[in-house]
């Protein structure tokens, strides 16, 4: 039985937890020459995102098996997985980072490092529905 992401409702197939993903985003951020005030703002927002994801762990799936050995573990830190998938975490973290960067070069570097174009799936309902119409 698979665990589904509470955000997108797809099965969680990439066993990398939100904490590890956000740590990687912070490492990237600190390796760049970015003003300290921007780093501070992004850090606070990423920490807030992580707290929101952690709170999702209190939502119990009706099919969840409570046996310790059945819980999916992160391949990096070996902690239990969160209920938000890697893709949704990266999507939300990238929105935070991109909204605070004003350098096109830095945004491109971030997109390249995290392949955010794969995870940028914010729905444009009007556009999607117009494509579905049969003419």
pLDDT digits (tens, 9 = 90+) for 35-45: 889 999 999 99
Q: Give the model's pLDDT for residue 62.
A: 47
81 lies in a domain?
A: yes
Reading the block at residue 103, the tokens are: 């350098």
Q: Give the model's pLDDT for residue 121.
A: 52
8 lies in a domain?
A: no
Q: Give the model's pLDDT for residue 120.
A: 54
Q: What is the mean pLDDT of each run of 10 residues along the chain (135 residues)?
A: 77 87 89 87 94 72 49 84 85 89 87 75 42 41
State how far the Cα of 6 lies from the Cα of 31, in Å rounded to an integer. Answer: 32
Domain that holds residue 85: 18-132
Reading the block at residue 100, the tokens are: 């605070």
92 lies in a domain?
A: yes
Q: Give the model's pLDDT for residue 61.
A: 47
């Amino acid at each position: 039985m698979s665990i589904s992401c509470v955000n997108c409702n797809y099965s969680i197939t990439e066993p990398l937890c939100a904490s590890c993903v956000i740590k990687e985003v912070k490492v990237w951020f600190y390796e760049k020459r970015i003003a300290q005030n921007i780093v501070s703002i992004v850090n606070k927002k990423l920490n807030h995102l992580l707290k929101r994801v952690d709170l999702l762990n209190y939502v119990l799936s009706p099919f969840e098996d409570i046996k310790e050995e059945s819980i999916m573990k992160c391949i990096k830190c070996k902690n239990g997985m969160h209920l938000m998938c890697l893709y949704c975490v990266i999507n939300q973290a990238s929105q935070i980072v991109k909204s605070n960067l004003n350098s096109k070069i830095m945004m491109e570097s971030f997109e390249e490092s995290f392949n955010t174009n794969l995870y940028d799936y914010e729905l444009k309902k009007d556009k999607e529905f117009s494509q579905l119409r049969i003419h």
